[in-house]
């Protein structure tokens, strides 16, 4: 997993609440098993003027000019700004994969769907909870200044941009895991020698289980 320490990027404004995971990545793309290749289908239903499926080449589809992801400079953005309850709905981890594959490294919102929030930390994406007043101020800045950039500093736990620096809170263990680029599997593998010792001891103490 790619570590997250400090990231500077263009803010992509999604000024609405309750954006669910089906909107982030529609169900027909859940058939793909790899963690890559989802970026072109991020917000697929509003990004294209024609319906798509796994077998339809993206190059043959018509872009919706009203979708923020098709507008410059947001098509190169990497920090999503949203309203409350971002990532609600189903538990699909593919929603985080699609954001990451597009290039998003952080999502700022007043609140998140619980499972989506957890999935972010396991995939190198930083979800930052900010109070409503700060989110509204960031929307005002992003709308008045297309291409507005922010720096998300996980080491100092600060959002920096527009002449303002705001602190944010992140649980200490999750912060360390992101800084080191460790997901749950990598954390487990750090104890691989202890796990092997346990299995060897168990085989000696309870050999009938291994026949």
Residues 128 and 159 sit within 8 Å (Cβ to Cβ): yes
Tens digits of residue pLDDT in 158-210: 999 988 899 999 999 999 999 998 766 656 555 567 667 677 777 778 888 77
Tens digits of residue pLDDT in 2-28: 899 999 999 999 999 999 999 999 999
Quick one: pLDDT at residue 15?
96
Tens digits of residue pLDDT in 43-73: 999 999 998 888 889 999 999 999 999 999 9
Residues 6+ apart with CB under 8 A from 183: 1, 122, 123, 124, 177
Domains along the sequence of the chain with CATH: 6-180 (3.20.19.10), 182-211 (no CATH)
User: What's the rounded Cα separation, in Å, for the pair 135 and 125?
Assistant: 19
Tens digits of residue pLDDT in 84-142: 999 999 989 999 999 999 999 999 999 999 999 999 999 999 999 999 999 999 999 99
88, 96, 146 from 21: Cα distances, Å: 6, 9, 26
Count how many Cα atoms sit within 13 Å of the Cα of residue 177 in the half-sphere of its side chain.
Answer: 22
């Amino acid at each position: 997993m790619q570590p997250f320490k400090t990231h500077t990027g263009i803010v992509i404004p999604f000024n609405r609440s309750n954006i669910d995971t089906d909107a982030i990545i529609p169900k027909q793309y859940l058939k793909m098993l790899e963690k890559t290749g989802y970026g072109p289908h991020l917000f697929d239903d509003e990004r294209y003027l024609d319906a798509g499926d796994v077998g339809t080449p993206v190059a043959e589809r018509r872009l919706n000019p009203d979708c923020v992801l098709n507008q410059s400079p947001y098509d190169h953005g990497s920090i999503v700004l949203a309203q409350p309850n971002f990532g609600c709905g189903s538990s699909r981890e593919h929603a985080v994969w699609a954001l990451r594959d597009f290039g998003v490294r952080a999502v700022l919102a007043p609140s998140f769907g619980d499972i989506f929030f957890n999935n972010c930390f396991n995939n190198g994406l930083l979800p930052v909870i900010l109070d409503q007043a700060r989110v509204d101020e960031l929307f005002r800045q992003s709308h008045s200044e297309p291409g507005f950039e922010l720096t998300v500093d996980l080491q100092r736990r600060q959002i920096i941009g527009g002449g303002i620096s705001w602190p944010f809170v992140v649980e200490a263990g999750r912060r360390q895991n992101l800084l080191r680029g460790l997901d749950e599997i990598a954390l487990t593998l750090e104890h691989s020698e202890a796990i092997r010792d346990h299995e060897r001891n168990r085989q000696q103490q309870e050999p009938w289980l291994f026949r």
